[in-house]
Chain A
C-alpha cells in the first residue's frame, strides 16, 4: 500500500519550459488536492478535484492547469514555467473533504 506517490521528486526547469507533475493514489479516494509550499510559508491550495473528471480552482491557480482523467491520478501542469513557481509541491488525497488528508512526499521544483 503505497498511499500517495508523487513524481518526480526533484526537477530543475528553465523559464518558459513546461512540465507535468504526477500524483497517484491507491486508496480509492475521491478527493485530490495540489498545494504549494514556499520557504517559511504554509500550504497554499492550487487546484483540487472532487472526483474523476472534475477540477476546481484553489487559492493560487494562475499559471497551473490540472486534469483528473482517472480516479487514481491527478496531474498538475505548468505550461510556461516562471521563477515565481519555484516551490515544493504537495499532492494530497482524501475519501471526502471531511476526513484526513494523506499527503505525498513532495516535488521540489526550481525554475531558473
Chain B
C-alpha cells in the first residue's frame, strides 16, 4: 500500500522568510496530493491540492510542486506570517484507493 514520508517534523522560520515542507510517496499510481493545515484545537483544513497532471499550483502565498519521477511533492509558503504557525499534513491517494494516506505532520513555528 501507499506510504507517505514527511519532513521535517518541526520547522522554525523567521517571520517574512519562506518555509518548505517535503513529502515522498511510494505508490506510483497515486495521483492526488492534498495539503492540510491544523491550527491548535481545530480540525485539519484543506489548503491546497494538486493532481498528477500538474507540476505546480499556486494560491497567493502558498504553492505546491510535484515531481512524479522522483515521487515527491513539496509545500512552499512565502512571506510567512504569525498565522501560518500550525501543523501541516501532506497526503497522497489514487483513484483505486478508498482513502488518502497522511504524512505524520510538520509543526511550523513562525518566529517574531
Contacts and interface: CB of A to CB of B under 8 A. Distances in A.
B97 interface: yes
B32 A42 contact: no
Given A42-B89, A42-B103, A48-B98, A98 B32 contact: yes
Interface residues of B, number: 23
A45 B89 CA distance: 14
Interface stretch (B13-21, B40-48, B63-71, B76-84): B40-48
Interface in B54-112: 89, 93-95, 97-100, 102-105
Contacts of A92: 43-44
A74 interface: no
5 A-B pairs closest in CB distance: A103-B43, A100-B46, A42-B104, A98-B32, A42-B105
Interface of B: 31-32, 34, 36, 41-46, 49, 89, 93-95, 97-100, 102-105
